[in-house]
Structure 1
Amino acid sequence: MQILFMLWISLLPYLKPAPAVSAAGRNHCQVYGAVYLERDPMYRSTASHIVFIGEEEAFADMVVFRESNKLFADAPAIWYITPNKAFASHILYVTDKPHLADFTVHFTDVRAIATCRD
């Protein structure tokens, strides 16, 4: 038993810790559907991503179309902004500092130009 313990201790430096967020959780192109935009800093830790909403389309990582019907928000960069956090598929914290954001968003009025840039 002591030999197994010593072996386990010797292998600890070579074990990699599990990532805190899965690869799908880091991909901002997977964010679509019902989205809740959290603005209260107290609930920042409950958000899956931190976003900056920019005015310039050219510098945005994602050009988002606001869908008025939740059922039609079924593709990347098509969001239904829900007023209730309980009904959201994704909770995003909105920051006013672009350097703290995971990705930047620009809202458009034209569904055809909604896109996600990697």
Structure 2
Amino acid sequence: MISLILFLIFLPWTGFSPSGSQFDPCEIYGKVYVESNPRYAHFRVYEDDSEAFADIIIFDEENTLYADEPGHWSFVDDRDFADVYIYFEKDRNLADFAVYYTDYASFAGCNR
């Protein structure tokens, strides 16, 4: 009984929930793994064709050490080395947020 009460008390402070109000896509950076199954992904992402409608402008870093600020992602092939797992959604309405890729590192970042 006591463990159930403690669980309910500390539940709001453990982890983060993408669907909750605390989620901010502009805080995502680092090593990213592209999931093939949406159930295993932290976020569902829509790749937008227009920079104006995207939530984040992404620069694909070749070196993972430079992916240290919002909008700078380094894609990894091994799931164990990733900081974030994403799934590319085909329908924008099902996605958590939209991204747009840029060729210039200085343009990367939050687009809100």
SS of 1:104's equivalent in the other structure is strand
Measured after TM superposition, the shift of residue 31 of structure 1 is 0.9
User: Which is helix-richer, 1 or 2?
Assistant: 1
Query: Is 1:27 aligned with 2:21?
Result: no
**% identity of equivalent residues:** 33
Match of 1:82 among 73, 76, 87: 76
> For 2:43, which of 17, 31, 49 is the aligned residue?
49
Q: Output the TM-score relative to the length of structure 2.
A: 0.79
Do 1:25 and 1:48's aligned partners in 2 also have CA atoms closer than 8 Å?
no
Question: Could you say if the C-alpha distance between residues 77 and 45 of structure 1 is closer, same or farther in structure 2, counting changes exceeding 3 Å?
Answer: same
In structure 2, distance between residues paired with 1:25 and 1:36: 22
Number of residue-to-residue matches in the alignment: 101
Unpaired segments ≥5 residues, structure 1: 1-14
- CA RMSD, 1 decimal: 2.5
Q: Distance in 2 between matches of 1:79 and 1:50?
A: 15
Larger Cα Rg: Structure 1 or Structure 2?
1
Unaligned runs of 5+ in 2: 1-8
Aligned pair 1:99/2:93, yes or no? yes
Partner of 2:4: none
